[in-house]
Amino acid sequence: MSFTWSRGRQLENITFKDDTKATYKYNESGLRIYKDTETATTTYEWDDTKLIRETVTYKTIEKKYDIWYLYDSTGSVVGYEYNYINDQDKKCSDKIYYEKDLQGNVIGLLDSQGKVIATYAYDAWGNIIDSVCHLYGE
């Protein structure tokens, strides 16, 4: 795997062992605005330094996900809302909320009804040591 950097700290390209690539672009403030891989293209929209939206367009399955980040009154991200068109051409939307510990680490994901859909555990240095996806109905 090889990396190409620009402006010292901005990742520009990754070439993986199988010769697939990922390409990145940044705005004048150094914030990522674009990512392109073999399977998807992602664009990022910012309000100053706050990420407000991601649009992910998958190339092979022709699907597009629109992700809007949700913030509380202090400016801390608390979750996201995503929209997509399902296989029956119906627009679908849902919200996912973050459950955080006192350090601000995301320790769980909750659906719009408050049901836990994922949990995360960290070591003393903040590295994820366990993650569990809770399937619906379990």
- What is the Cα–Cα distance from 16 to 38, expressed in whole angstroms? 11
Closest CA to 40 of 54, 18, 56: 56
Q: Residue 136's pLDDT is what?
A: 59
pLDDT in tens, the chain (138 residues): 999 999 888 999 999 999 999 999 999 999 999 999 999 999 999 999 999 999 999 998 888 999 999 999 999 999 999 999 888 888 999 999 999 999 889 999 999 999 999 999 999 888 999 999 987 544
List the structure tokens of 56. 């992910």
pLDDT of residue 25: 97
Under 8 Å between Cβ of 137 and 130: no
Q: Name the residue ranges covered by the structural domains of the chain.
A: 2-96
Q: Enumerate residues 6+ apart whose C-beta is below 8 A from 119.
A: 107, 108, 109, 130, 131, 132, 134
Q: pLDDT at position 33, please? A: 98
pTM for the structure as a whole:
0.83
pLDDT at 8: 81
